[in-house]
Structure formats: C-alpha cells, structure tokens
Amino acid sequence: MVAMFPPSTPETDLSPADSHDAEDAPAVAGAALDLLLSEAGLGTRARLLPGRETLRLVTRLARRPGRVLRRSSALTGELAKALAGRSELKLPRGDRRFRDPAWSASWFYRRVLEAYLALDATVNGLIGDAELEWSDDRKLRFIAQSGARVVQTEVSGGDPGYGETSKMLAESGMCLALDRASLPPGSGVLTPAVAMGDVLLSRLQRAGLQFRVLSA
C-alpha cells in the first residue's frame, strides 16, 4: 500500500464518460497490476487461480454461520424478485460488460442479468464477512469481479523471483520520488496501481518488463 497526500495542484474535472472510465480502470487494471506487484515471485497458477485463500475463506465463513445464512436468505429473496421482474438491482457505474441492448430489451436476459448481480453482491458480501487478510481479500474479489470476462495477458522480462521484483520495488520508489507531478490525482492509502497508474507502467516497461494484452 502507498500513502499519498493531497496534490498541490487542482484536480481536472472529468466529463461523465471520462468519469465512468476513471472509476472502472482502478477496479480492473488496478487490481491486476497490484496482484502482479505483490505476487511477482509466484507462478501464473499461484497468482491468478484461487487456492489456499479459498480454503481460508471457507474456514472463516464456517465460523460465521449466521452471516452465511443471512446472505443466503437475502440471495433467495433477490432471485425471487428477479424472476418476478421486481428486482431493483442496477449495474455499477462504469461496468461495460453488459452494453449489448439485448440485456435490457429482452425480459429473459434482463432477469439473467439481475440474477447475476444478486449473486455477485452475495459473493462479495461473503468475502467481506470472512474478514480475510488484504492480499487474500483483494485476490478473491478480483477473481469474483472478473465474472465471465476472460482477458489473456502476457508479462515478460527477466527472472521473476529476484530481478523483476527488485525492479518493481525500485521503480515504484523512483516513481514516488521523481514523478510526483505526473501521478494521478488522489490521496489516502492507495494501492500502487491506483497511486501511480500509467507512470509506473511506463517506468516498468523502460526497465525491461513487457506487458501485452493477448485477447480481451
């Protein structure tokens, strides 16, 4: 985590469309970069597939049966509302996964979407109820929020255990020290991707790391 103080320069106003993009970017790209920075020494399977953190989630929830029961009851109620066409669940701002008109024009697809939103809220609620460590919580939320989206990326460079991890740490420090004026506006306790964004990404690329989106 990175502590950032309010910038001395005023923030630039965003148009509604830009605002949606700005809100969506930290949730997806930020989570992916944060996972990469915090788990760079692990293999691909260990980084992106649920493993021991899933076991810890189940263990924590097993100690909180009351919360699981309330979440399950609430989910049953929301699914019944969706089936009856009375659900009030809406897509979060900036979510572009369901832009196809069929999701709103077709009564069937609209109910499927509302059921998905109910399930998504329940899963995220259960992850919060488990009160996991930050890394486990972040990874599970990232996997859950990816939903049906499949994004194939490739990160290449040198030795991921020592060489590239050292570069990530060093470039993050240099970014905070030397590129403050170019960093995204924000304050508080932020993750590296949210605090430094494309500025850090550019530094990592200049240091020899390569990031490619193969398919999305």
What pLDDT is attached to residue 175? 92
Closest CA to 181 of 5, 13, 7: 7
Q: For the beta carbon of residue 72, count every other beta carbon within 10 angstroms.
A: 12
Q: Which of left, alpha, beta for 30 (phi over 0: left; psi -120 to 50: alpha)?
A: alpha
Residue 118 belongs to domain spanning: 50-148
**Is 42 domain-assigned?**
no
Average pLDDT over residues 190-197: 81
Give 147's DSSP letter: T
**Is 193 domain-assigned?**
no
The token pair at 207 is: 């240091």
Least confident of 84-88, 101-105, 155-159, 180-184: 155-159
210 φ/ψ angles, rounded to the nearest 5 degrees:
-120, 130
Q: What is the pLDDT of residues 50-88, one digit of tens each?
A: 567 788 889 999 999 999 999 999 999 999 999 998 998
Q: Which of left, alpha, beta for 131 (phi over 0: left; psi -120 to 50: alpha)?
A: left
**Is 37 domain-assigned?**
no
Closest CA to 148 of 202, 112, 201, 178: 112
Least confident of 10-24, 127-141, 157-171, 180-194: 10-24
Least confident of 9-13, 64-68, 189-193, 198-202: 9-13
**Is 38 domain-assigned?**
no
Are the beta carbons of 114 and 82 closer than 8 angstroms? yes
Band (pLDDT 50/70/90 cuts) for residue 36 is: low
What pLDDT is attached to residue 216? 54
**Is 133 domain-assigned?**
yes
Q: What is the pLDDT of residues 80-133, one digit of tens each?
A: 999 998 998 887 776 667 778 888 889 898 899 999 899 988 998 999 999 988
Answer with the residue of higher pLDDT: 68 or 153: 68
**Is 85 domain-assigned?**
yes
**Is 120 domain-assigned?**
yes
**Is 13 domain-assigned?**
no
DSSP 83-120: HHT-----PPTT--TT-STHHHH-HHHHHHHHHHHHHH
Number of domains in the chain: 1
Q: At what angle do helices 192-206 and 31-38 cross, to 10 degrees?
A: 70
End-to-end Cα distance, the chain: 28
Answer with the residue of higher pLDDT: 45 or 82: 82
Whether residue 213 has pLDDT greater than 50: yes
The token pair at 4 is: 């950032």
Kindly report the average pLDDT of the chain as a whole number.
75
Closest CA to 86 of 115, 60, 127, 65: 115
